[in-house]
Amino acid sequence: MTVIVLTHCPVGLRGFLTRWLLEISPGVFLGNPSARIRDALWDEVRQYAGNGRALLAYSTNSEQGYAFRTHDHKWHPVDHEGLTLIFRPSDRPARSSPSTGWSKASKRRRFGNRAP
C-alpha cells in the first residue's frame, strides 16, 4: 500500500499522480504500485512539487510495517534504534532561566482571596 500526501503543490502534479494512484481526498493519493513505480513517482513528486510539501508512506517488511519519506517538511524522520520517528522542531523560543517566585494563581490558592 502506498499513500502520497501533497500540500500546496501544482495541480499538474496531482493530475500526474492520478494516472497511477486514486485521489481519495484533495491531495491524498492511495494505491498499490510496485516498488520501482513508487520510487519513480516519488522522484517526480520531489522534482515538480515546487514550493509545496509532500509525504510518502508505504508498507514494507520492517519492524514497524511501514516506512515514509518527506519533502520540504519541518518535521523530519529520524532513525532511533531501528524505528523511524518524527522529529518536531520546537516553535517556542528557549527560555534562559525558569521564572522565580509564586504565580498569582498559587498565591490565591495558598492564601485565599483576602481583601485588606
Report domain extents, the chain: 2-87
- Intra-chain end-to-end CA distance of the chain, in Å: 69
What's residue 29's pLDDT? 97
List the beta bridge partners of residue 102: none
Residue of 42 and 79 predicted with greater confidence: 42
CA–CA dist 49, 113 (Å, integer): 59
Task: Look up the pTM and report it.
Answer: 0.73
pLDDT above 70 for 95: no
Please give the CATH number for the structural domain made up of 2-87.
3.30.70.240
Q: Stretch 38-45: mean pLDDT, rounded? A: 96
What's residue 114's pLDDT? 60
Q: Helical H runs in 1-116?
A: 11-17, 35-48, 104-111
What's residue 33's pLDDT? 95
pLDDT above 60 for 57: yes
* CA 33 to chain CA centroid, nearest Å: 22
pLDDT above 60 for 98: no
